[in-house]
Structure 1
Amino acid sequence: MTFNYSVSPDDWLGIAPIVVLVVMALVVMLVDLVLPHEGQRSKHSGPANFTVLPAVTFLGILAAMAAAIVLFFVQHRAAVFNQMVGADNGTLYADLLVLSAGGLGILLSPAYLKRLRLVHQGEYYALMLLAMTGMMLMASALSFLIVFVGLEMFSLALYILCSFIEQRQMSQESGMKYFLLSSFASAFLLYGIALIYAASGRTSFVDVQQFVLKQGGHAPILLLVGLGLLTVGFAFKVSAVPFQTWTPDVYQGAPAPVTAFMSIGTKVAALLAFVRVFGFVLSSVQNDWLPIIWTLAVLTVLAGNLMAISQSNIKRMLAYSSVAHGGYLLIGIVISGQAQQNHIGASAILFYLTCYLFMNIGAFGVISMLERSDNSGYDLADLRGLWYRRPVLAGMLAFFLLALAGFPPMAGFAGKYYLFYSALVGGHPELLVIGVIASVLGIYYYLRFIAVMFMEGRDTPRVGTIPTTSGKIPTTPRTRVSGSLSRPLPSSRGGTAVAEKPATARVADLPVPAAAVIENENTHELEGWSWLALIIAGLGTLLVGVILPFWLPQLQQAAQSLLK
């Protein structure tokens, strides 16, 4: 058996957005080499890095978006590189979603990195670009091998980004947990791909689809086992129950801009591969896998909303909210399994991801501006009375939380409406009823945080407080913060002025993170980047919720051209 294949210009044209991102990742690392550095090159980055590097990175993302938009209007092949990578309209749309999430994450990063004095700026932005590349590659995969390559590419980048804050133990833990659990899930996915290849002798989606069609409506046992293992890998990335345990810890410990980006990008990549495999390749044997995906969708919707109710940390609440939204998206997978409704389910998923993109990144964007360097500042107690201290941020956070809850006329309502409508049209009214009940249940935990910000804590916190990982401890006027340690000043009576905890420990005995003492550092010149991201997210939340719903019938009719 011989195999001859040569790459043509059409192949490179089909993956033009991916090529642009890879080139810009190399450019960012080269620019980081020539920028001025303070002190030792390996440990300290110069002040120019906080503006030049994100600007270059953002320009690269805009260039990749321009390439994707041009491909919508330029005639090109729908599948390239020997039918292994897709370049159809659905893939290009997914590319725009990943690039939008990455671009907003980049805009949120400069002020955040400056406030925490995080070094190695070039590595951070290069890893963000490479993570986007892997997500886009997985979303465009037309072969199980490309699925695994894309998955590993963005996972390796996210492992490092989650643990990027060296001085924060929780960040290190989140990176390690994500690495261990994600590697475990990747092993399941790889073993599932191996069993599918053993059963069919092919790895291409088209070839496997033809093999399944010849089975007369029922897949062989070996193929079913492979699909079961494959489902574990996909469900892990979507944060479906019972594979969601990593989500709250990783979301809480990772840098807020990284959390905002990965909460969208991983879902786009995994769900596009999910819907291609189950909604198109395996639609002829839907009776074999539909009950499992149906059960996963229902459990994820209900469990995600129930677990979010008891959370007093808004990052963990949004993590469980992300689990619930992953369950809503799995409803689209169930609908895509219907032989006559697969395109309706796929288009509902893409539209819901568009809505979720703006409102979820907007919520995490506000958190990134509130988050202190010791990973505090966004607990329920910290948000109490935020309206009286920072009314603009409180208003924007309430706006995005209401959108996530599904209040009209914002994007959350439009996304759920279209998804539930597809469930009704696809012959699953029970999923519509379950989704509506879960959405009503989810309103409570969103409104809980809004009520705390607006209706409680009119008094501002005392000035003499030291942020710690366990809360805020009042200090006496003779206690000061200098360097990275809290040192008591000598009293005129020969004693030591310290503040006592309700227990026996003293402030001087408590561990204060080194980065917790730079909260007052002047980062106003970089906050414009974050405000730009919040404005874009706010406008997107409104526009997607108000304007696009009028196009829903047209979107449904045009869904036939989204994925091929």
Structure 2
Amino acid sequence: MTTFTYFASADQWLGIAPVVVLVVMALVLMLVDLVLPHEGERSKHSGPANFTVLPAVALLGVLGSMAAAITLFFVGHPTSVFNNMLGADSGTLFADLIILVAGGLGILLSPAYLKRLRLVHQGEYYALLLLSMTGMLLMAGALSFLIVFVGLEMFSLALYILCGFIDQRQTSQESGMKYFLLSSFASAFLLYGIALIYAATGHTSFVDVQRYVMTQTHGQAPILLMVGLGLLTVGFAFKVSAVPFQTWTPDVYQGAPAPVTAFMSVGTKVAALLAFIRVFGFALSSVQSSWLPVVWAIAVLTVVLGNVMAVGQGNIKRLLAYSSIAHGGYLLIGVVVSGAGAGQQNHIGASAVLFYLSCYLFMNIGAFGVVSLLERLDNTGYDAADLRGLWYRRPWLAGLLAFFLLALAGFPPMAGFAAKYYLFYAALVGGHPELLVIGVVASVLGIYYYLRFIGTMFMEGREESPALAIPATPGHIPATPRTATKAPTGGLRRSASSTRGATAVAERPASIRVAAPPRPAVVSAEEPTHELEGWSWVAIGIAALGTLVTGVILPFWLPQIQQAAQSLLK
């Protein structure tokens, strides 16, 4: 009988310092929520301090974790910790920073959004954000199939709740339920795949699996291993929103709170793609003939169909969802290149994916950040009809949204151009020129639907002031049905809840019908308050600056990024 004893040294804990900081701060956040003063019944109301103190504590946790990750770049530490189950190398730390920046920007977008929608239980909201980031860090740094599954389940469980967090909105409840049901099936596929791979190789560690495959299979995977690879592909493709496993994405992205959508659209891709590259591009690269055609086909279908399905969208949130699907297809090109051969090709594919994710982070969260300021209580405000003439009403929001859409389309000198250039270059160097051609053609198609929304904002429907619908409220009951005036057409559609806080119109006798004089745009109760709107503007400003920096300055550091990616499994 053999025994196994393992003691975690200080170096081992140092290697996962970013994860430790997030977990500790999530616990601290929940304790702070307990001691903060609350108004009225505790289960129904939150005090005003909650809208500033709780996000500040959550943001402090993210900044502390980022500081720990940056410090690890410059101090000596092992590149794999806890019996080679977690990575702490440069590639992992780079991915950790992308996830943490996405989480930090999501936190900055949240206070004004939560205040406008009158959402309480904010302690749980920010704690779930921190715990979902923890799961993503675990999955991105996983060197074992067991840690892949633990990280996947940890961030998925948190995101199920966050997607359905708006209890008064039916679409949010549907979003959480759809994500829960479909993601549960994908997690089951992934778990069965892990079990079959363990049955075929006798190992769960990536390094041990790689060694077994190289020495025992002679380049041809046995049937048990091939079935396991197929099930793993389903699980990873679901998290990347790859075709044909993308059907959940538009509905979940549309119904979930906009800050949560912004965060999960980036964080889940980073975690899933790092695990995807480690498993397929490195651990199973010696049996690439068994899985490469399948991943190649999924990448092509995702790139083409993601852009095609986005063309007919009349809703900016669903447009960004299909855009996210298309970008997931571009990223899968890097996975194909990483598995196309050994040595330099593996590294250039991995480095292209890391660089693309660092660019996608800023431009996608920036676009969703603008949407979060436009979104109303009833989950409207971002249809094409609502965006018509936005330049004349809210020029800053229109200009920033156009900026981020142009970046996503790949116009230079913004981040999208540099990201696609390096990824397509990796495809060419990696021996897949056909993926370069397909990617370029699909990108040209993508330019159309981005420009269509930009044209809607800048060239259509100039209005001096939005139309105001004034339905009856409990405090305002018309004397006769004819006292209510009909809202003029052509303006923004307003729900009944959007007129809360607006000045009530004095009742007039039915015989006297006086048209209301023109008035400036009225900010309803659904608009963010000025003291909290600054948080969102800071996040959007950081995203805009990051979009420019990653597109203009960061490309000069591509060789260093490539060298960092070479240590992914060391």
Do they superpose with TM above 0.5? yes
**Which residue is 2:506 aligned to?**
none
Aligned-residue Cα RMSD (Å) equals 1.8
Looking at structure 1, the residues matched to 464 and 163 of structure 2 have their Cα atoms a distance apart, in angstroms, of 32
**Which residue is 1:279 aligned to?**
281
Q: Deviations over 1:500-533 (max 9, x none)?
A: 799xxxxxxx996757746623611001100100
Cα distance change of structure 1 residues 34 and 280 upon mapping to structure 2, 3 Å threshold: same
Match of 1:232 among 231, 234, 241: 234
- Comparing 1-10 with 404-413, greater Cα deviation is found at 1-10
Cα distance change of structure 1 residues 109 and 85 upon mapping to structure 2, 3 Å threshold: same
SS at match of 2:566: helix
Looking at structure 2, the residues matched to 135 and 555 of structure 1 have their Cα atoms a distance apart, in angstroms, of 21
Q: What is the correspondence of 1:281-430 to structure 2 with a 5 Å cutoff?
A: 281-337=283-339, 338-340=341-343, 341-430=345-434
Q: Deviations over 1:137-162 (max 9, x none)?
A: 00010000000000000000000000
Deviation at 1:562, TM superposition (A): 4.8
Cα distance change of structure 1 residues 557 and 133 upon mapping to structure 2, 3 Å threshold: closer
SS at match of 2:251: helix
Is 1:444 paired with 2:433? no
Looking at structure 2, the residues matched to 501 and 303 of structure 1 have their Cα atoms a distance apart, in angstroms, of 40
**Which residue is 1:490 aligned to?**
479
SS at match of 1:561: coil
User: Quick check: 1:374–1:516 contact (8 Å CA) kept in 2?
Assistant: no
Looking at structure 1, the residues matched to 401 and 327 of structure 2 have their Cα atoms a distance apart, in angstroms, of 18
Query: What amino acid sits opposite 2:553 in the alignment?
Result: I
**Which residue is 2:267 aligned to?**
265
**Which residue is 2:202 aligned to?**
201
Looking at structure 1, the residues matched to 565 and 334 of structure 2 have their Cα atoms a distance apart, in angstroms, of 13
Q: What is the correspondence of 1:139-288 to structure 2 with a 5 Å cutoff?
A: 139-214=140-215, 215-288=217-290
TM-score of the aligned structures, taking structure 1 as reference length: 0.93
SS at match of 2:483: coil
**Which residue is 2:504 aligned to?**
none
Looking at structure 2, the residues matched to 309 and 260 of structure 1 have their Cα atoms a distance apart, in angstroms, of 21
Q: Deviations over 1:226-259 (max 9, x none)?
A: 0100110000000000000000000000000000
Query: What amino acid sits opposite 2:136 in the alignment?
Result: M
Looking at structure 2, the residues matched to 348 and 93 of structure 1 have their Cα atoms a distance apart, in angstroms, of 13
**Which residue is 1:128 aligned to?**
129
User: Quick check: 2:262–2:364 contact (8 Å CA) kept in 1?
Assistant: yes
Query: What amino acid sits opposite 1:531 in the alignment?
Result: W
Q: Deviations over 1:246-302 (max 9, x none)?
A: 000000000000000000000000000000000100111111110000000000000
| Number of aligned positions between the proteins | 539
Looking at structure 1, the residues matched to 499 and 261 of structure 2 have their Cα atoms a distance apart, in angstroms, of 20
**Which residue is 1:472 aligned to?**
none
Cα distance change of structure 1 residues 269 and 211 upon mapping to structure 2, 3 Å threshold: same
User: Quick check: 1:28–1:56 contact (8 Å CA) kept in 2?
Assistant: yes
Deviation at 1:546, TM superposition (A): 0.5
Match of 1:533 among 515, 519, 539: 539
SS at match of 1:3: coil
Cα distance change of structure 1 residues 513 and 185 upon mapping to structure 2, 3 Å threshold: farther
Q: Deviations over 1:56-97 (max 9, x none)?
A: 110110000000000011111111111111111111111100
Looking at structure 2, the residues matched to 339 and 516 of structure 1 have their Cα atoms a distance apart, in angstroms, of 62
Percent of matched pairs sharing the same residue: 77
Q: Deviations over 1:91-113 (max 9, x none)?
A: 11111000000000000000000
User: Quick check: 1:301–1:326 contact (8 Å CA) kept in 2?
Assistant: yes
User: Quick check: 1:50–1:110 contact (8 Å CA) kept in 2?
Assistant: yes
Deviation at 1:498, TM superposition (A): 4.5
User: Quick check: 1:347–1:556 contact (8 Å CA) kept in 2?
Assistant: yes
Looking at structure 2, the residues matched to 481 and 443 of structure 1 have their Cα atoms a distance apart, in angstroms, of 44
**Which residue is 1:468 aligned to?**
none
Deviation at 1:463, TM superposition (A): 3.6
Looking at structure 2, the residues matched to 327 and 78 of structure 1 have their Cα atoms a distance apart, in angstroms, of 30
User: Quick check: 1:260–1:364 contact (8 Å CA) kept in 2?
Assistant: yes
SS at match of 2:352: helix
Deviation at 1:2, TM superposition (A): 2.3
Looking at structure 2, the residues matched to 23 and 516 of structure 1 have their Cα atoms a distance apart, in angstroms, of 42
Deviation at 1:552, TM superposition (A): 2.7
Looking at structure 1, the residues matched to 551 and 537 of structure 2 have their Cα atoms a distance apart, in angstroms, of 21
- Comparing 4-13 with 299-308, greater Cα deviation is found at 4-13
Query: What amino acid sits opposite 2:536 in the alignment?
Result: S
User: Quick check: 2:164–2:174 contact (8 Å CA) kept in 1?
Assistant: yes
Looking at structure 1, the residues matched to 444 and 404 of structure 2 have their Cα atoms a distance apart, in angstroms, of 17
Deviation at 1:43, TM superposition (A): 1.6
Query: What amino acid sits opposite 1:149 in the alignment?
Result: V
Looking at structure 2, the residues matched to 303 and 140 of structure 1 have their Cα atoms a distance apart, in angstroms, of 31
What 5-or-longer segments of structure 2 have no aligned partner?
502-522
User: Quick check: 2:334–2:427 contact (8 Å CA) kept in 1?
Assistant: yes
Q: Deviations over 1:440-465 (max 9, x none)?
A: 00000000000000000111454422
User: Quick check: 1:385–1:455 contact (8 Å CA) kept in 2?
Assistant: yes
Looking at structure 2, the residues matched to 374 and 464 of structure 1 have their Cα atoms a distance apart, in angstroms, of 16
User: Quick check: 2:19–2:137 contact (8 Å CA) kept in 1?
Assistant: yes
SS at match of 1:82: coil
User: Quick check: 2:91–2:564 contact (8 Å CA) kept in 1?
Assistant: no
User: Quick check: 1:167–1:514 contact (8 Å CA) kept in 2?
Assistant: no
**Which residue is 2:99 aligned to?**
98
SS at match of 1:73: coil
Cα distance change of structure 1 residues 63 and 557 upon mapping to structure 2, 3 Å threshold: closer
Deviation at 1:177, TM superposition (A): 0.2
**Which residue is 2:87 aligned to?**
86
User: Quick check: 2:90–2:565 contact (8 Å CA) kept in 1?
Assistant: no
Q: Deviations over 1:524-562 (max 9, x none)?
A: 100110010011000000010001122334444554235
Looking at structure 2, the residues matched to 556 and 512 of structure 1 have their Cα atoms a distance apart, in angstroms, of 51
Q: What is the correspondence of 1:38-117 to structure 2 with a 5 Å cutoff?
A: 38-117=39-118
Query: What amino acid sits opposite 1:490 in the alignment?
Result: A
Query: What amino acid sits opposite 1:237 in the alignment?
Result: K
Is 1:560 paired with 2:566? yes
User: Quick check: 2:316–2:382 contact (8 Å CA) kept in 1?
Assistant: yes
**Which residue is 2:16 aligned to?**
15
Looking at structure 2, the residues matched to 462 and 558 of structure 1 have their Cα atoms a distance apart, in angstroms, of 52
User: Quick check: 1:11–1:81 contact (8 Å CA) kept in 2?
Assistant: yes
Match of 2:530 among 524, 532, 540: 524
**Which residue is 2:516 aligned to?**
none
Looking at structure 2, the residues matched to 76 and 289 of structure 1 have their Cα atoms a distance apart, in angstroms, of 34
**Which residue is 2:520 aligned to?**
none
Cα distance change of structure 1 residues 379 and 512 upon mapping to structure 2, 3 Å threshold: closer
